[in-house]
């Protein structure tokens, strides 16, 4: 039987906008999503899981089911409603209360400073493409470090890549621009510079905590062994993964990576992103001081050479088999036969997790530690009609998924990778950015209309693993 190390941390994950609800309460400023979602009219970020009012209830449950750490994020616009300037004391006080509740329940908070929720005023100025945004983000981070000494684990940014790509390539995040690879690369470079400035400032402050970044790292494989497919996979990897691992974990861009990025922008008649020697120096200093990297890995991708126009269709409803992704200058996603997928077309491929963890150890030796900061499966789940207080939601698919992925992590640890912990996405059911409320990931079921919580069988499974550290067959 495979075992996890004794000090392996078992956690649950969340993000402010996806759980808190209360988007108009206590002086919170608007973020890029509020008007965008209202206009779209598909779903609302309120009430989400009403974590703003129910954090203590959720942390009580978490403690009972073996959760030792939690990923939460601070909603920047609860503290600075406009992104800069005036501080909202009610927002500050909410997070002090949340961290005190974590302490009471013996749960370590890993706190993200930016999880897809740019304050609207800064979003309107260009979001990650604006220097004003970058400076404001660094100031907000420093404010948090001083204000919340009770936090010992900080994460600068959640998934810089997916934010940028969804904002300006696939258009699934506001402002909904498509096909602008150049803007995505520039926004990502800018996020890495802001991240690096924050890491370097944090280390200077000597607060005795740890700081890291979280990346979306879906492993990329060529569809076949042909040279063309292998090259397409290398382009896709540079686009979604390699540039950001280089920038944040090595502190410099490998010339081979830059060549691939240049090939993508050239093919789309767009300019290369800009960087300065001062920025590169900042990246290098940060990479040498970074305490950990967070790996978000849910699925893997297979890429085939493709020569046509870009076409992307997002499966945001769980209608299996509806996703399309063909990018001009990169390649086309195609799953080999026999790869199992979820209703949202995400492949279930634990080997991808293992390969990614091993790759980081091999190719980015500066990184001292890795946490799996997100992994889990989105399912369509409902409350039985005759549910009562003791109803337990049966989720065998999730247990099966977790078992396979935990095995892959344990194997990577056996291969010498320093994986220190795991955060299941998600702690409780929550709101999903582009899928709303029907894609449930939680170990606790949330009946959104009543906000009542029900335990899922996977929570029992998780508790046992947390107590024994033995992965059952
Ligand atoms: C990650 C995000 C999370 C979460 C998760 C699941 O990219 O960091 O915020 O949403 O993916 O994705 P989705 O909600 O699209 O299923």
Mention every residue, 6+ apart, whose C-beta is less than 8 A from residue 255: none
User: What percent of the chain is modeled with pLDDT above 70?
Assistant: 100
Does ligand 1 lie within 6 Å of residue 432's CB atom?
Answer: yes
Inter-residue contact 254 to 225 (CB < 8 Å) = no
**pLDDT (tens digit, 9 = 90+) per residue, 402-415?**
999 999 999 999 99
Ligand 1: centre distance to CA 86 (Å): 31
Compute the distance between CA of residue 144 and CA of residue 289 in angstroms, rounded to an integer: 19
Does ligand 1 lie within 6 Å of residue 158's CB atom?
Answer: yes
Mention every residue, 6+ apart, whose C-beta is less than 8 A from residue 471: 1, 2, 3, 4, 403, 406, 407, 410, 465
Roughly how many angstroms between the first and final C-alpha of the chain, as a whole number?
7
Compute the distance between CA of residue 49 and CA of residue 33 in angstroms, rounded to an integer: 17
Inter-residue contact 123 to 85 (CB < 8 Å) = no
Tokens of 261: 């990025």
How far is C-alpha 111 from the chain's CA centre? 12
Q: How confident is the model at residue 153 (pLDDT cuts 50, 70, 90)?
A: very high
**pLDDT (tens digit, 9 = 90+) per residue, 39-68?**
999 999 999 999 999 999 999 999 999 999
Q: Which of 215, 433, 441 to mutate to test the pocket of ligand 1 (most atoms within 8 A of CB)?
A: 433
Residue 227 has pLDDT above 80, yes or no: yes
Mention every residue, 6+ apart, whose C-beta is less than 8 A from residue 48: 17, 18, 19, 20, 21, 430, 431
Residue 304 has pLDDT above 90, yes or no: yes
**pLDDT (tens digit, 9 = 90+) per residue, 213-223?**
999 999 999 99
E strand or H helix at 164, and its extent? helix 160-168
The residue whose two tokens read 């890795």 is: 370
Residue 212 DSSP SS3: strand
Compute the distance between CA of residue 328 and CA of residue 331 in angstroms, rounded to an integer: 7
Ligand 1: centre distance to CA 433 (Å): 7
Q: How confident is the model at residue 1 (pLDDT cuts 50, 70, 90)?
A: confident
Q: Which pLDDT score, from 0 to 100, does residue 179 have?
A: 96
Ligand 1, residue 216: give the atom nearest the CA. Answer: 7
Q: How confident is the model over 452-468, as a mean pLDDT? A: 98
Ligand 1: centre distance to CA 215 (Å): 12
Compute the distance between CA of residue 181 and CA of residue 273 in angstroms, rounded to an integer: 10
> Among the options 240, 332, 333, 374, which is catalytic?
374
Ligand 1: centre distance to CA 196 (Å): 24
Judge if pTM exceeds 0.95: yes
> CB-based burial of residue 380 (10 Å sphere; 0-12 exposed, 13-18 middle, 19+ buried)?
exposed
Does ligand 1 lie within 6 Å of residue 398's CB atom?
Answer: no
Q: How confident is the model over 183-195, as a mean pLDDT? A: 98
Inter-residue contact 239 to 264 (CB < 8 Å) = yes
Does ligand 1 lie within 6 Å of residue 217's CB atom?
Answer: no
Q: Which of 216, 425, 442 to mutate to test the pocket of ligand 1 (most atoms within 8 A of CB)?
A: 425
Q: Which of 48, 75, 374, 442 to mutate to test the pocket of ligand 1 (most atoms within 8 A of CB)?
A: 374
CATH class of 9-468: alpha beta
374 carries an active-site annotation = yes
Q: What does the DSSP assignment read for 63-132? A: HHTT--EEEEE--HHHHSTTSSSS--HHHHHHHHHHHHHHHHTT-EEEEEEESS--BHHHHHTTGGG-HH
Residue nearest to atom 6 of ligand 1 (CA): 432
Inter-residue contact 91 to 99 (CB < 8 Å) = no
Residue 473 has pLDDT above 80, yes or no: no
């Amino acid at each position: 039987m495979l075992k996890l190390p004794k000090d392996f941390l078992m956690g649950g994950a969340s993000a402010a906008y996806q759980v808190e609800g209360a988007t108009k309460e206590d002086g919170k400023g608007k973020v890029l999503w509020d008007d965008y979602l209202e206009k779209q009219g598909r779903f609302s970020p309120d009430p989400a899981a009403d974590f703003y009012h129910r954090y203590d209830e959720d942390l009580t449950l978490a403690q009972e089911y073996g959760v030792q750490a939690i990923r939460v994020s601070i909603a920047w616009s609860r503290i600075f409603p406009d992104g800069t300037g005036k501080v909202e004391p009610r927002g500050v006080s909410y997070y002090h209360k949340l961290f005190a509740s974590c302490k009471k329940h013996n749960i370590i908070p890993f706190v993200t400073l930016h999880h897809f929720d740019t304050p609207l005023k800064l979003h309107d100025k260009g979001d990650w493409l604006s220097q004003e945004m970058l400076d404001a983000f660094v100031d907000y981070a420093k404010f948090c470090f001083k204000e919340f000494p009770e936090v010992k684990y900080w994460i600068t940014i959640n998934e810089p890549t997916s934010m940028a790509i969804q904002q300006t390539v696939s258009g699934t995040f506001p402002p909904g621009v498509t096909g602008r690879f150049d803007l995505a690369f520039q926004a990502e470079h800018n996020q890495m510079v802001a991240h690096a400035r924050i890491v370097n400032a944090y280390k200077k402050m000597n607060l005795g905590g740890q700081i890291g970044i979280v990346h979306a790292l879906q492993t990329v494989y060529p569809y076949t062994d042909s040279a063309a497919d292998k090259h397409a996979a290398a382009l896709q990897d540079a686009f979604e993964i390699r540039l950001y691992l280089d920038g944040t974990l090595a502190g410099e861009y490998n010339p081979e990576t830059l060549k691939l990025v240049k090939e993508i922008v050239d093919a789309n008649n767009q300019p290369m992103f800009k960087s300065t020697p001062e920025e590169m120096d900042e990246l290098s200093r940060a990479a040498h001081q970074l305490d950990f990297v967070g790996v978000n890995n849910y699925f893997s991708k297979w890429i085939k050479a493709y020569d046509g126009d870009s076409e992307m269709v997002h499966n945001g409803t769980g209608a299996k088999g509806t996703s399309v992704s063909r990018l001009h200058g990169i390649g086309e996603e195609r799953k080999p036969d026999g790869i199992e997928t979820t209703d949202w077309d995400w492949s279930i491929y634990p080997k991808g997790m293992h390969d990614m963890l091993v790759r980081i150890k091999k190719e980015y030796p500066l990184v001292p530690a890795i946490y799996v900061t997100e992994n889990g499966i989105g399912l369509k789940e409902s409350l039985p009609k005759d549910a009562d207080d003791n109803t337990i939601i049966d989720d065998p698919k999730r247990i099966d998924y977790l078992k396979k992925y935990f095995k892959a992590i344990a194997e990577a640890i056996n291969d010498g990778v320093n994986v220190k912990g795991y955060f299941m996405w998600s702690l409780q059911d929550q709101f999903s950015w582009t899928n709303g409320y029907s894609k449930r990931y939680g170990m606790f079921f949330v009946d959104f209309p009543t906000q009542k919580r029900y335990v899922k069988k996977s929570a029992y499974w998780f508790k046992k693993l947390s107590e024994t550290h033995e992965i059952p067959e």
